[in-house]
C-alpha cells in the first residue's frame, strides 16, 4: 500500500489542521475501514460531495487507487484543483485524481464504481433527491463494491446547525425559530455578506436526518450495513428539548456506515 506521505512533508507543514485532517487522517481512516473489504489499491473511487477535494486527493496520493473522482455541485472542485496545485507544486497533482463540478443528482464520470466515500455531505442533500442518488449509486456500484457514509454533526445534536462561525451554543438552533436563526446569521460578525447568504441557505437546506433514518434510507436503496460507528456527546440537553425530541437524536453527534450491496 502506498501510504508514503513523506514526499508531501514540506507541503503538509504549511497546512492548517482542518486541511491536514482531510488530506491525511480521513484517507487513513477510510483505508482502515475498507481493508477487510478489498481496500483502496487499484479501485475506482467516488468521493460524493467532495468540497475542495482534499480527502479525494489524500486517497489518490496515499493509497494507490485506479482513480478517485471527487464530485460536488458547488465550485469546490474548481477551486480545489487550484488549491491543491498551490500546495503540491505545479505538475504534482496525482494523475489518478479528478475533481468534477456536477449538476444536482449527477454522479460524475466514474462508472462502474468500486468504492463510494462521502464525508459530511449527505446531510446537505434534500431527502427526495437523496433517495434517488442512493438508488443510482447502488446501480453504479460494482457487485463487490462498498460505500462509506459519514455525517457529523447530525442536525439534532449540539452543533447540528453547522453554525460554528457564529459561535452557536449547544442545541441553540433547536431552541429558536428558523427566523431567529436566520436573523442571527445575518448579524454574524465573523461572516461577510456573501458568506451570510451561503450559510443561511446551508442551514435552511439541512435535511435533518437522524442516524436511524439514514440507515433506513440506505437499506431501502438496497444496501446492507456491514459496519457502523456512532458517537455521542457527553453534554446533557436542556429539559425543554428532552420533552420534545428523542434523547438518542439529541445526543448522537456522528454516524459512520460501511455498506455493501444487498445479498
Rule CB under 6 A: say whether 90 interacts with ligand SAM.
Answer: no
Question: How many whole angstroms separate alpha carbon 59 and alpha carbon 33?
Answer: 13
Which range, of 27-35, 73-81, 92-100, 165-173, touches ligand SAM by CB under 6 A?
73-81
Nearest-approach distance from CB 121 to ligand SAM, in angstroms: 4
Residue 257, C-beta contacts closer than 8 angstroms, at least 6 positions apart: 147, 148, 149, 150, 214, 215, 218, 225, 227, 228
Between 126 and 246, name the residue whose CB sits nearer to ligand SAM: 126
Q: Which of residues 174-233 bind ligand SAM (CB under 6 A)?
A: none
CB 217, CB 134: distance < 8 Å: yes
Between 62 and 76, name the residue whose CB sits nearer to ligand SAM: 76
Question: How many whole angstroms separate alpha carbon 233 and alpha carbon 257?
Answer: 18
Rule CB under 6 A: say whether 128 interacts with ligand SAM.
Answer: no
Rule CB under 6 A: say whether 27 interacts with ligand SAM.
Answer: no
Residue of closest CB approach to ligand SAM = 51
Bond into 199 cis (ω within 30): no
As beta bridge partners, residue 252 has 232
DSSP state of 30: H
Q: Which of residues 38-57 bind ligand SAM (CB under 6 A)?
A: 48-51
Residues that bind ligand SAM (CB under 6 A): 22, 48-51, 71-74, 76, 104, 119-121, 124-125
Amino acid at each position: 500500500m502506498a501510504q508514503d506521505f513523506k514526499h508531501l512533508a514540506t507541503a503538509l507543514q504549511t497546512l492548517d489542521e482542518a486541511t491536514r485532517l482531510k488530506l491525511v487522517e480521513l484517507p487513513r481512516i477510510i483505508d482502515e475501514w475498507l481493508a477487510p473489504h478489498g481496500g483502496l489499491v487499484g479501485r475506482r473511487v467516488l468521493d460524493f460531495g467532495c468540497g475542495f477535494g482534499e480527502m479525494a486527493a489524500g486517497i489518490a496520493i496515499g493509497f494507490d487507487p485506479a482513480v478517485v473522482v471527487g464530485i460536488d455541485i458547488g465550485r469546490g472542485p474548481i477551486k480545489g484543483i487550484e488549491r491543491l496545485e498551490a500546495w503540491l507544486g505545479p505538475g504534482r497533482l496525482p494523475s489518478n485524481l479528478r475533481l468534477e463540478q456536477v449538476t444536482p443528482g449527477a454522479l460524475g464520470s466514474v462508472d462502474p464504481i468500486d468504492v463510494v466515500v462521502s464525508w459530511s455531505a449527505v446531510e446537505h442533500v434534500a431527502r427526495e433527491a437523496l433517495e434517488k442518488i442512493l438508488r443510482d449509486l447502488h446501480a453504479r456500484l460494482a457487485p463487490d463494491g462498498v460505500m462509506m457514509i459519514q455525517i457529523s454533526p447530525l442536525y439534532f445534536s449540539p452543533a447540528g446547525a453547522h453554525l460554528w462561525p457564529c459561535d452557536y451554543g449547544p442545541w441553540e438552533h433547536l431552541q429558536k425559530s428558523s427566523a431567529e436563526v436566520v436573523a442571527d446569521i445575518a448579524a454574524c460578525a465573523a461572516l461577510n455578506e456573501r458568506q451570510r447568504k451561503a450559510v443561511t441557505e446551508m442551514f435552511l437546506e439541512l435535511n435533518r436526518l437522524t442516524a436511524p433514518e439514514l440507515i433506513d434510507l440506505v437499506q431501502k436503496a438496497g444496501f446492507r450495513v456491514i459496519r457502523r460507528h456512532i458517537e455521542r456527546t457527553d453534554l446533557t440537553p436542556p429539559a425543554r428539548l428532552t420533552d420534545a425530541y428523542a434523547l438518542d437524536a439529541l445526543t448522537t453527534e456522528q454516524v459512520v456506515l460501511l455498506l455493501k450491496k444487498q445479498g
